[in-house]
A and B are shown apart, each in its own frame.
Chain A
Amino acid sequence: MAELIAPIAGNVWKILVAEGDKVELDDEMIILEALKMETPIYCDEGGTVTAIKVKEGDAVNEGDVLAVID
C-alpha cells in the first residue's frame, strides 16, 4: 500500500483517476494548483487506486494524503 502525498500546498485542480483504476509508475494522477500554476503529481508506485481522499477544489497542505494505492 502506498500513499500519494501532496508535495506542495495548493488547491486540487483536477483529479485524473478514479477509485478502482489501475495506475503505473509516473502516471499523472492529480493536478494541484498553487500560485496560479498547475503542478501534476505523479504516481510513485504502480497498483490499484483504493481511495481518493480529496475532491476538486479542496485546499491541501504539504504532506496531506491525496490518494491511496494498493
Chain B
Amino acid sequence: MLDILKDLIFSSGAVSLTGGNIVMWLVAFVLFYLAIKKQYEPLLLLPIAFGILVVNLPLTFLMQPEHGLIWFFYHYGIQFDIIPPLIFLGLGAMIDFGPLIANPKTLLLGAGAQAGLYVTFFAAILFGFDLQEAGSIAIIGGADGPTTIYLTSKLAPHLLGATAVSAYAYMALVPIIQPPMMKLLTTEKERKIVMTKLRPVSRLQKVCFPIVTAMTIMLVVPPAAPLISMLMLGNLFKESGVVERLTNASANELMNIVTIFLGLSIGATMTASTFLNPKVLFIFFLGLFAFVVSTAAGLLMAKLMNLFLRDKINPLIGAAGVSAVPMAARCVHKVGSEANRRNYLLMYAMGPNVAGVIGTVVAAAILLKNLG
C-alpha cells in the first residue's frame, strides 16, 4: 500500500517541476489575462497560452519527438510549412486589394516600411545573434504573424516561440505603438490632408490582380512561392465570385481550424529551457525596434513621395505600410480623424497595408534565399 502511494508520488509530474516551469505558468497566465480580459488577439493568444501551460507540466511529453500529440501538430503543421501558407490562403480570401489597385503608388509605402527589417537585421547581428537568428528577428518588423513563423521555422526554429509571440504582440499593440510615432513625424497640417477620391476599380482588374501578381512575384523571387501562391489563390477565389463556397471555406472554416493548431504548437515550443533565456528579452526589444523603424520608414517614405506628387497624400498612410492588416489602417484612420474629423483615411490606408503584406513576404523570401 505504501509502495503504491510512493510510486504514485514519484511518477507524478509535481516532483519533476522546476522553477522555470512555474515561471512559464505565469507567462501563460499573463497571456490568458491579455487574451480573455483585454481581448488582445484572443484567437491566437488563447491557444498559445494553453500550449505554454501544458508543455510546462512535466512528464506529459506532449512535445516529445515522434510521441507527443502537440509535437505531431508542430511537426506536420509548422515544420512541414503547411499551416502558415494555409493562413495566407484565408487572408487572401478576405483581403480586398482594390485600394492598392486604385492607387498603385502606395505599393512604394508597403515597400518602404520594410526598411525596419533591414536595419534590425544588422542591429541583431551587433547584439550577437547569428545571421539566421537575425533574419528571423528582423522579420518581426513586418508585423506579420504567419510570415514570421514561416521564416523562423526555416532559419532559427529554436526562436519560434519568441518571434511568433512578439510579432503577434506588436500587431495587437499597433494602436499603442504607432500613434506617438505618427504624431512625432508628421505636422498637424499634414495630418489634416484630405486625399483625392480613389478611382473605381473594375471587376476585371480585381480578377487579374492575383494572377498577375502571383506570376510576377514568383518569377522574380521564387522562394516567396509558398506564401504568395496561397495568398493570391485565396484572393482569386474571392474576386472571381464563382466559388463562394471555397472562398468561405478558406476564410472561415479552414482558417479557424489551422489557427487552433498554429496557436497550440507555437505555445508548446515555449518550454522553460528554450524561453527563459536572456536572448528572448533581446528578441522582444529588437522586434519592437524593427516595428518602430518600419513605421517611421513608411511615414518618411510618404513625406518623400509628397515632394513629387501634385495631389498630396496624407503621410499618415505610410504608417500602414507595416502589414498588420487591418490594425495599422484602422490606426491611421483614427489618428487622421483626430486631426480633421472629416478625414476618412481608412480605405486609403488599406492600399499600403495590403502592399505591406506582399512586401513582408518578399522580404522574407529574400532573407530565406540568402540565409537558408
Contact = CB atoms under 8 A, between A and B. Distances in A.
B326 interface: yes
A34 B346 contact: yes
A62 B341 contact: no
Interface stretch (A13-21, A35-43, A46-54): A35-43
Interface of B: 197, 326, 329-330, 333-334, 337, 341-342, 344, 346-347, 350
A35 B344 CA distance: 13
Given A35-B326, A35-B330, A42 B344 contact: no
5 contacts: A9-B347, A26-B341, A35-B350, A37-B346, A62-B347
Contact of A35 (B329, B341, B342): B329
Q: Chain A, interface size: which category? A: 10 to 19
A36 B346 CA distance: 11
Contacts of B329: 35
A37 B342 contact: no
A8 B330 contact: no
Q: Which 8 A-B pairs have the closest CB atoms?
A: A7-B344, A8-B344, A35-B326, A37-B330, A8-B346, A42-B341, A34-B346, A8-B347
Contacts of B330: 35-37
A7 B336 CA distance: 14
A39 B347 contact: no
A37 B333 contact: yes
Interface of A: 7-9, 26, 34-37, 39-40, 42, 62
Q: Is the interface of A mostly helix, strand, loop or mixed?
A: loop
A42 B344 CA distance: 11
Nearest to B347: A8
Contact of B346 (A26, A39, A40): A39
Contacts of B341: 26, 40, 42
A44 to B, nearest CB: 8
Contacts of B326: 35-36
Contacts of B342: 7, 42
Residue among A26, A35, A39 with max Cβ neighbours from chain B (10 Å): A35
Contacts of A40: 341
Nearest to B333: A37
Contacts of B337: 39
Contacts of A62: 197, 347
B95 to A, nearest CB: 11
Nearest to A10: B346
A40 B347 CA distance: 15
A30 to B, nearest CB: 13
B357 to A, nearest CB: 15
Given A9-B347, A35-B350, A39-B344, 12 more contacts: A7-B342, A8-B344, A8-B347, A35-B330, A35-B346, A36-B326, A36-B330, A37-B333, A37-B346, A39-B346, A40-B341, A62-B197
